[in-house]
Chain A
Amino acid sequence: MFRVIFYPIRGIIQFFEGIGRYFLLQLMLFRSFTSWRLNLVNTVDQMMLIGARSIPIIILTSLFSGMVTAVQSAYQFSSFIPSYYVGSVVGESVLLELAPMITGLVLTGRVGATITAEIGTMRVTEQIDALESLSFDPVGYLVLPRVLAGTIMFPFLIIIADFFGVFGGWVSANAQMNVSLFEFIKGFKQWFTPWDAWFGLIKAVTFGFAITSIACYHGFYTKGGAQGVGKATTITVVVSCVTIVFLDYVLAALFL
């Protein structure tokens, strides 16, 4: 009986404990900013891993999401709506929502899970303790380069996703509705405002920071052996996905 009452209470306490510990880690992260020069090489390495190596998957996912948007627009457009409007729909959807959101979700799996598994393994094999014993700041050495790299590289990835998403939309519109490039661009320009692109970049910076900091947090506080690393990795993916969807709503409510 007591267990039934205390189980949810314990869960709530652990949830708030987790949030508190996450923000403490962010404080340590900001403290470690003073050592960014020492960790510059590390940061560049992470920029390659997080950014450059994610480009192929970002191109693929954004290309297909743009194509699907065009196909669905064509399906929903009646004969009264001019076909060039597909450019407007694809452009707005990709820039405002699809590119940042799909990129965020894909990178949660590719980048977030990798970061947690890497740092979590270092934790359970005492490598983080070894770093501390050698007078290194483990937050500065492990967390700062990853969070910086994520926050810097995500906007570039979103720009790539924007381009290939819109391009995929045109390819599909051309195949399905015979929309020429000229018509597609005409439709794209119809509703486009520079703020749409800026808004996507604001989302990119926010998602980049959220995904990498959540992944680092779960890796940094991993407990147990291989099972603990697996559990932490799963939690990272789940929490990051929910956080991205939540932040997506908050940013839209604030800026649109």
Chain B
Amino acid sequence: MIRVENLYKELGSKPVLKGLSFDVRDGETFVVIGKSGSGKSVLLKHLIGLLIADSGIVMIDGENIGELSFKGLQRLRRKIGMVFQSGALFDSMTVGENIALALSSKKEFTKWTVKEKVKEALEIVDLAEAEDLMPSELSGGMKKRAGFARAIALDPQYILYDEPTTGLDPVMTDMINRLMIKFKQQKEITSVIVTHELRIVRDVADRVLLLNEGKVAFNGLPAEIEKSEDPVVRQFMTGDSTLAIGEKI
């Protein structure tokens, strides 16, 4: 279970997160939406300890990330997989080597097991033929799927997605959405997805949180957000830039 309590973060001198609190239950797919610059990716980086809060608590399975030692944080991260917006593949290695590197952090895997696991992960994302390709030879969608494969290869308990479908065509977006549903069903993973695409909310989410200017504007079920009368929520859901916040719908 993930618990975030009163999370504050400033970057430079600009406050980005202003007292966020929410829970993510085991096995659920929790989608965080919000406008660009609302602090979604910053929030996600706090969940894996890439950023440490100025104040507030981020707890994962009862462990406070801010209080963990370096080794403790490394141990905790083995439970978490992260899919980056750009894929963040290591560009000096092939796709297969990228996944193998992730697996090499676990001592129990032999060379043979690593090979098998790499193949298995690439088959799940339908990229078996790309094992020997370099990241520069992949399309945007293939890079994202290779990033997925790397994140799931370690069988994580939690998986964090940073804008998984941004910049992809509708067919590829659908494919990625189906992949996220497939991971969830096959591996019973707890997922946190950061996005500004409403299609993910409709297709994948168990619960949804809307971030607005570093604060929680909505936290509830996908069906509830569709019906919400809150002006901030309405503006985001309709995508109407002319709608004044505070105006009665």
Contact = CB atoms under 8 A, between A and B. Distances in A.
Interface of A: 31, 121-122, 125-127, 129-137
A7 B237 CA distance: 44
A135 B78 contact: yes
Instruction: List the 5 closest pairs (A to B, CB-CB), nearest first.
Output: A130-B88, A126-B88, A133-B82, A135-B77, A135-B74
Interface of B: 45, 48-50, 70, 74-75, 77-78, 80-82, 84-86, 88-91, 101-102, 105, 150, 154
B85 to A, nearest CB: 7
Interface residues of B, dominant DSSP? loop
A122 B150 CA distance: 17
A129 B105 contact: no
A132 to B, nearest CB: 6
16 contacts: A125-B88, A126-B84, A126-B85, A127-B89, A127-B90, A129-B45, A130-B82, A130-B150, A132-B49, A132-B50, A134-B101, A134-B154, A135-B75, A135-B77, A135-B105, A137-B74
Contacts of A131: 90
Nearest to B92: A118
Contact of A133 (B80, B85, B90, B91): B80
Contacts of B154: 134
Contacts, number: 50
A142 to B, nearest CB: 11
Interface SS of chain A: helix
Contacts of A129: 45, 50, 82, 84, 88
Contacts of A136: 105
A130 B85 contact: no
A133 B50 contact: yes
A9 to B, nearest CB: 16
Contacts of B50: 129, 132-133
Nearest to B106: A135
Contact of B86 (A125, A133, A134, A137): A125
Contacts of B101: 134
Q: Which of B77, B81, B88, B101 has the most chain A CB atoms inside 10 A of its CB?
A: B88
Contacts of A122: 90
A130 B84 contact: yes
Nearest to B78: A135
Interface-central residue, A122, A131, A132, A134, by most chain B CB under 10 Å: A134
A31 B69 CA distance: 13
A132 B48 CA distance: 9
Nearest to B81: A133
Contacts of A31: 70
A133 B74 CA distance: 8
A134 B102 contact: yes
